[in-house]
Amino acid sequence: MKDYCLRATAGNGMIRAFVAQSTRLADKAARIHQTSAVATAALGRVLTAASIMGLTLGNEENSITLSIRGDGDLGGVLAVSDGLGHVRGYVHNPLVDVADRADGKLNVGAAVGRGQLTAVMDLGLKEAYTGTVELVTGEIAEDLAHYYMTSEQTPSVISLGVLVDCDLSVKQAGGIFLQLMPGYDDEIVDKLEARIADFPPISRLLNEEKTPEDILEMLLEPFGYEVTERHEIKFLCNCDRERVERVLISLGRDEISQILEEQGEAELNCHFCNEKYHFAKSDLEMILNEEGLR
Ligand code: ZN
């Protein structure tokens, strides 16, 4: 089974819906970054959200960067997705440990703390679109709904869930986005609010072996809905040696000379996937000999 996201339209086009199962991508991220349970939950939620947001862009060339910066011990979370929902990301402090909430759930809000959420959408235009809002709870889903309302005037119901197993693997992860499109009426708002008032958490539904198809049916059946797209989503990093070399080159002549003198070699880690790139003495010398290096 692979992770995937369904896109649907409901209520005569007044509702746009996404339901994603993201268990494998959240688990892969946890394994790459060796995250604590609460960091796994935070990272899994942000990756799932970014992946869905990537699919809203409608073009695989476009990309979205979702960044959460808080004053809690987690430090922050960053995820980048392309327009196909291929997502990568990391947390600043993967080993963060905070006490669980009173209800026994992982306390993502406390780990994140107070701060800001920023979304940068690169739509291939001259300038990327950037929106920033203050965090509401640090639990990510509410913060994103606030972002959509404030930055895009789109009323949204967002649910993100990551169920972490005792062995720190991800047992289930997923996300739901329900968004009202321009031209919606009050009647549909009331109906939708009633529908989701006591809707179970998505991680619980997935754990009961409900599929994204089942969950869409549970949510949208009274509105009349149609599934319009199905996308495989996954954790995918696009780093390669050339890209990393460009980062090294951007340090400039002085810094590279200093690395060469002091260490004789360089090792760079990709923040997103932890892949290590080694540059031997001869590689660094070759970079220094390249023309145009400042
Ligand atoms: Zn990478």
Query: Residue 118 pLDDT more than 90?
Result: yes
pTM of the model as a whole: 0.93
Mean pLDDT of the chain: 94
Give the span between the Cα atoms of 160 and 177, in whole angstroms.
Answer: 9
User: Ligand 1 centroid to 244 CA: how many Å?
Assistant: 9
pLDDT of 292 reads 63
For residue 275, what are its two tokens?
């892949």
Q: Are 21 and 94 in contact (CB under 8 A)?
A: no
pLDDT digits (tens, 9 = 90+) for 124-138: 888 899 999 999 999
Cross-strand partners of 63: 82, 122
Q: What is the pLDDT of residue 197?
A: 86
- Residue-level pLDDT at 124: 87
Cα gap 165→10, rounded to integer Å: 34
pLDDT, residue 271, reads: 92
Q: Residues 78-88: what's their mean pLDDT?
A: 97
Task: Write down the pLDDT at residue 289.
Answer: 87
The pLDDT score that the predictor gives to residue 221 is 94
Q: Quick one: pLDDT at residue 237? A: 95
- Band the pLDDT of 198: cuts 50, 70, 90: confident
**Mean pLDDT, range 226-245, rounded to an integer:** 95
Identify residues whose C-beta is under 5 A from ligand 1, the ion: 237, 239, 270, 272-273, 275
User: What are the angstrom distances between the C-alpha of 106 and each of 25, 163, 199?
Assistant: 19, 9, 20
pLDDT band for position 214 (cuts 50, 70, 90): very high
Instruction: Give the Å distance between the CA of 26 and the centre of ligand 1.
Output: 16
CA distance 293 to 34: 37
**How many beta carbons lie within 10 A of that of residue 224, not counting itself?**
11
For residues 284 and 259, is the Cβ–Cβ distance under 8 A? yes
Domains plus CATH for the chain?
4-235 (3.55.30.10), 241-290 (3.90.1280.10)
The arithmetic mean of pLDDT across residues 119-127, rounded, is 91
Kindly tell me if the per-residue pLDDT of 18 is higher than 90. yes
- How far is residue 17's CA from residue 68's CA, in Å, rounded to a whole number? 23
Find the 269 Cα to ligand 1 centroid distance in Å. 8
Instruction: Kindly give the distance from the C-alpha atom of residue 247 to the centroid of ligand 1, in angstroms, as a whole number.
Output: 13
| Cα atoms found within 13 Å of the Cα of residue 273, Cβ hemisphere only | 16
Distance from C-alpha of 255 to C-alpha of 239, rounded to nearest angstrom: 22
